[in-house]
Amino acid sequence: MKNLHYFFFIFQDTCMFLSFLIAVRFSIKNGLSAMSFFLLYPTIGFFVAFLNVLSNMSHQVKPIATSVNNVSLIFHYLFLTIFILNQYENKKIIRLLTVLSVFILIAIVMILFKNDISKQNHRPFIICGLWLIVICVGYYLGLLSTRNVLHISSLPIFWIVTGVFFCMSMLIPLLLFRDLFLRTGSLSWNLYFARTGMLCYGIMHIMFIKAYLTASKNIPDSLEISI
């Protein structure tokens, strides 16, 4: 059982590391674009994953790693919200979702810092995940109203959004019912949630790798991003 847990741990971190390396290579080779801007996300993810590896080696590092992981949620929320909303075409919807995102950000920050930042707190992660699912669905609906739906597999952004959507859609239901299952007192449930999370994050980064490989085939590309 312990070896199986390490397998999922190594799978997740390997996918994140490969995603980071491919993103760096793409950015160096192709210069500024939405995809090179996205390099920032796997970079932060790799840094957080590295701290998690250290926390498994030393209990003294664990509170620091947990604190960084909690605070990184703010980056995770802001970055993906900005990135995905930049793919929308309807300006009114963008403005509406931007206003909503500010209120949700305030709620996330308040919940995070109201509690001990060095301890795991799943509530802000659930809020963030639900929000990301909503804007991912909005992106898909936008695709249906354009000709891009005919060749979605050639759109790098599609693979990024799909990776985020898949990961959040799998994790959020588990987090919502996590406490209920853990009341059984079974350690096996806790391991199940941890392994599922690592698997989902690993697959998400595989989708990111697919996005970069797709973008490499489509250069020159018209992908742009504005903040």
Residues 6+ apart with CB under 8 A from 155: 148, 214
pLDDT, residue 227, reads: 38
Please indicate whether residue 114 or residue 60 has the higher confidence score (pLDDT). Answer: 114
pLDDT, residue 226, reads: 42
Q: In which band, very low, low, confident or very high, does the pLDDT at 60 lie, cut at 50, 70 and 90?
A: confident
Residue 101 has pLDDT above 80, yes or no: yes
Which of these CATH numbers, 2.40.160, 1.20.1070, 3.40.50, 1.25.40, describes 2-217?
1.20.1070
pLDDT, residue 109, reads: 94
Please measure the distance between the N-terminal and C-terminal CA atoms of the chain and give it in whole angstroms.
46
Between CA 133 and CA 165 the distance in angstroms is: 6
By the 8 A CB rule, do 42 and 12 touch? no
Q: Structural domain boundaries of the chain?
A: 2-217
pLDDT above 90: percentage of residues in the chain: 36
Residue 122 has pLDDT above 80, yes or no: yes
By the 8 A CB rule, do 14 and 49 touch? no
